[in-house]
Structure 1
Amino acid sequence: MIEPGSRYVALGSSFAAGPGISPIAHKAAGRSGNNYPHLVAADLKLDLVDVTYCGATTANLVDTPQDAAPPQVEAVGPDTTLVTITAGGNDLEFVGTFLRGSMLNTLAKPATLLGRRVANRIRARVSYLKDDAAYQAVTDSLVTVVERVRERAPSARILLVDYLALVGPSTRPRLDVPLNEEQLPSVALMADGLAAAFAKAAATAGAELIASSAASQDHAIGSSEPWTTGFSLRPGFLGGFVPYHPNAAGMRAVADLIVRTLKT
């Protein structure tokens, strides 16, 4: 059990930062005051240092500055008791691939007026397949992140928090998921590879795994209670949202998973 008042450092990319979820805590980072780190800290009365940042790769956690922000691991110190880590998706361009495919499919639909070949050429500009080496690279990078954290905070409890599911049993091609029956399984395979990378990294590095991906399968896009957003081209000021990212319910669900783990 983590004692109230303990120092908690949150590292990660947008699936931890919570872009588009009110209130905004740090505009440049796309960081929400209601992301899972803030919710966990509030539930357990922890002293939170949240350096999560949209677009971060594992390199930005370890040794590469992002915009004006230093490598995230520098926020970890000897007094740190808890560290959560959600990163690696940007190393694979996971959401970026899903987003580009959706945008090109949306453009390809009117392009069918110019001929099916033109439309298919537009759709084919996105590759959904990654090789085993790409997933192993994410595993190795996550292990490195854990090792760097442990060097700076030997006594900290380290949690690898994987990504909420975007594609699940209820996900079908539709307006907010403009991918076809061939593309959706490829996205699901990429998500499975990312989840496996987290599991392997946790086992290798001796970190704890929070398997958000497994817990959220029945809450993917298209479910009755989705924990992630679908696709939209509508800007935020017109009621839009950040596509293919956790929503407020998803952040609450991840926080609950973490809190239950920390209380055991």
Structure 2
Amino acid sequence: MSRYVALGSSMAAGPGIRPRATGSPRRAGRSARNYPHLVADRLGLPLVDVTYSGAATAHVLAERQHGAPPQADALDGSESLVTVTIGGNDVGYVPMLFAAGLPRAARFIPLLGTKIRDLLNPQARLRALDEVGDALIAVGQTLRARAPRATVLFVDYLTLLPDDPPLRDADARLARHLAATLEQLTADAAQATGCGLVRAGAASRDHHAWAPEPWTTRFGVPAPGRPAPLHPNAAGMRAVAELVVAAVTG
């Protein structure tokens, strides 16, 4: 039976959603109830899940991550389905949100403050956005070349913030710009490389972390057995799985 290979960052891996995928590295934060596992169960496909928390496009294409090989190395041409959720770590999207959620005084702590100020620097984030578009296209081209018979789907990021997020105005504007631009660049890369696109962001506009029925989590401190802050929760993973299944079967 042809395989399903899932690639991507923590937004696909599902850190903190129990149980952890059997045999997976703890650093990967890979849940047995992430959307790749749910999709594989629904479609009856053998799953190779190489999603890894903290992954950037370079870890899909060429770089090792904590000893794990580049994610695209998992492809051997036997796949019928490939999904990838990537790009946010290239532009520092979630780290920027974490930084924005800290007390303003944290920006002046030695060493830590330098990192926080860089994450919240619009020029630095815009430079990263300028680079990630080409990187996403390279991801699409690589996956199409290595899995020529597969349906290859970019799955973009779930919506994290409401229209009026609980952030300082400048930080809120930067966060909204990062999210919207990353979503558009993912769509552009899918179109440019002949891949499909699952619009998780658009589907979750009314299910942000502050919504009555959230698909993502709010700011907070990571805790064992709980979905990571500013990441998909179990409901979000189920929703994305439904979107992927619909894209494959529809």
What is the TM-score with the length of structure 2 in the denominator? 0.89
User: Please, which runs of 5 or more residues in structure 1 have no aligned partner?
Assistant: 112-120, 174-178
Task: Give the drift of 1:260.
Answer: 0.7
User: Please, which runs of 5 or more residues in structure 2 have no aligned partner?
Assistant: 109-113
Q: Does 1:251 align with 2:237?
A: yes
Amino acid at match of 2:242: D
Query: In structure 2, what is the equivalent of residue 56 of structure 1?
Result: 55
Amino acid at match of 2:168: N
Equivalent of residue 201 in structure 2, options 213, 231, 240: 213
Task: Give the drift of 1:128.
Answer: 5.2
Query: In structure 2, what is the equivalent of residue 116 of structure 1?
Result: none
Task: Give the drift of 1:103.
Answer: 2.1
Deviation per CA, 1:4-26: give whole Å up to 9, x if none: x4300001000000001011112
What is the TM-score with the length of structure 1 in the denominator? 0.84
Task: Give the drift of 1:48.
Answer: 0.4
Task: Give the drift of 1:222.
Answer: 1.1
Task: Give the drift of 1:80.
Answer: 1.0
**CA gap 1:106/1:195 in 2 versus in 1, 3 angstroms:** farther
Larger-gyration structure (1/2):
1
Q: Secondary structure at the match of 2:102?
A: helix
CA distance in 2, matches of 1:216, 1:144: 27
**CA gap 1:172/1:145 in 2 versus in 1, 3 angstroms:** closer
CA distance in 1, matches of 2:67, 2:153: 26
Q: Secondary structure at the match of 1:11?
A: strand
Q: Does 1:148 align with 2:145?
A: no
Task: Give the drift of 1:148.
Answer: 1.4
Number of aligned residue pairs: give it. 241
**CA gap 1:241/1:148 in 2 versus in 1, 3 angstroms:** closer
Where in structure 2 are the equivalents of 1:1-264 lying within 5 Å?
5-25=1-21, 26=24, 27-105=26-104, 126-127=119-120, 129=122, 134-169=128-163, 171-173=164-166, 179-233=167-221, 235-237=222-224, 241-264=227-250
Query: In structure 1, what is the equivalent of residue 111 of structure 2?
Result: none
Q: Secondary structure at the match of 1:197?
A: helix
**CA gap 1:157/1:182 in 2 versus in 1, 3 angstroms:** same
Question: 148-157 or 9-18: which moved more?
Answer: 148-157
Amino acid at match of 1:129: P
Task: Give the drift of 1:81.
Answer: 1.1
CA RMSD of aligned residues (A): 2.2
CA distance in 1, matches of 2:159, 2:235: 13
Task: Give the drift of 1:124.
Answer: 5.8
Q: Name the % identity.
A: 44
CA distance in 2, matches of 1:240, 1:262: 30
CA distance in 2, matches of 1:161, 1:253: 12
8 Å CA contact 1:129–1:190 kept in 2: the answer is no
Q: Secondary structure at the match of 1:22?
A: coil
Query: In structure 2, what is the equivalent of residue 118 of structure 1?
Result: none
8 Å CA contact 2:92–2:119 kept in 1: the answer is no
8 Å CA contact 1:104–1:123 kept in 2: the answer is no
Q: Secondary structure at the match of 1:243?
A: coil
CA distance in 1, matches of 2:211, 2:135: 32
